[in-house]
Amino acid sequence: MLWLIGNSGMLGSAVEKILLNEKLQYWATGREADITDYRQIERFSKNKEIAWVINCSGYTQVDKAEAEPERAFQTNRNGVHNIAQFCLKKKCKLIHISTDYVFNGKKKLYEPYSEVDEPDPINIYGKSKLAGEGEIKKLLNDYFIIRTSWLYGSNYSNFVTTMLKLFKEKDTVQVVNDQWGSPTYTVDLARVIIKIVKDNVRQYGVYHFANEGAIAWYGFAQEIYEQAKRLGLIENKKEVKIVPVKTEEYKIAVAKRPKNSILSKEKIKQTFNLGIRPWNEALGDYLNEFPFREKN
């Protein structure tokens, strides 16, 4: 059996949807099992045979983490330690989701980060996620740490939903043009997670996954706008000017962001014989299935 932790989040809900569609047996928890309290983990798992744990939970509020580092580390380090401790005791295999923000982003543009590159996070969120990775590595051998980037998907606020909202409300939208990465559709990552479980993969370790291609946030916003227009998600008569700005000019963000968040997917593609589709194609699927779309 499988235990999905964090099923109410953006990625966790995508994983659970596939589990349901494929009629796989599993247990799922959200806030009812607090991972920062080991007793709650043990209480929930009592008398359950668990072979796999998928951890999609985490503290993900990048800017807020700068003001409350204790909360970020409590979940992303201490909570992950508890999950790893549980997997060690029960001899479970663990799939844990981490982030591109474990890197400092100082690599040359278009030069992706591979799994052998040395992490060097520049914000509290990245540091807390890296600390969680460290707890897993200290305790377990049978684990998969999957670092991903720029996630968007259903049932959660994300960059795509934010842009669509701004496009409807404003005539001019400023978007950062000097931070590069690869947008990732939760459905595509969820499929990889389930593939690892179904295939009972044993090539443990750290992997990177994102949709193919790289873009700046500004270019991502432009593509969202163009596709949304074609699909009628934005009124055809409404024209929005998308203005590129430098990170230094964008005063809203509190936490530092890496300028280069591009992840190399070569290891995961070769190891699992994966084909990964381009980010703009995945975006098209998301917008077509947009759960609260309002055609004008």
CATH of the domain at 134: 3.40.50.720
| Residue 232 resides in a domain | no
Asked if residue 289 has pLDDT above 90, the reply is: no
For the segment 83-124, what is each residue's pLDDT rounded down to a tens digit?
Answer: 999 999 999 999 999 999 999 999 998 899 999 999 999 999
| Residue 176 resides in a domain | no
Following CA atoms 52, 56, 57, 60 in sequence, which dihedral angle do they give, to the nearest 10 degrees?
160
Point out the catalytic residue in the list 59, 125, 143, 152. 125
| Residue 175 resides in a domain | no
Secondary structure letter of residue 116 according to DSSP:
T
| Residue 235 resides in a domain | no
Segment 273-288 mean pLDDT: 96
> From CA 171, how far away is CA 241, in angstroms rounded?
6
For the segment 123-174, what is each residue's pLDDT rounded down to a tens digit?
Answer: 999 999 999 999 999 999 999 999 999 999 987 789 999 999 999 999 999 9
Asked if residue 78 has pLDDT above 50, the reply is: yes
Tell how many helices (H) and how many strands (E) occur in the chain: 11, 12
pLDDT at 291: 58
For the segment 9-57, what is each residue's pLDDT rounded down to a tens digit?
Answer: 999 999 999 999 999 999 999 888 899 999 999 999 888 999 999 999 9
> From CA 163, how far away is CA 170, in angstroms rounded?
10
For the segment 255-267, what is each residue's pLDDT rounded down to a tens digit?
Answer: 999 999 999 999 9
pLDDT at 296: 38
Indicate yes or no: pTM above 0.85.
yes
| Residue 186 resides in a domain | yes
| Residue 121 resides in a domain | yes
| Residue 283 resides in a domain | no
For 44-70, give one letter per residue: b (16+ CB within 10 A) or e: bbeeeebebbbbbbbbbebeebbeeee
| Residue 188 resides in a domain | yes
Lowest mean pLDDT among 22-26, 29-33, 62-66, 185-189: 29-33
Between these two residues, 290 and 224, which has the higher pLDDT value?
224
The number of folded domains in the chain is 1
User: Which residues span the domain enclosing 196?
Assistant: 2-157+181-214+260-277
Class of residue 137 by CB neighbours under 10 A (exposed 0-12, middle 13-18, buried 19+): middle
125 flagged as catalytic: yes
pLDDT at 101: 98
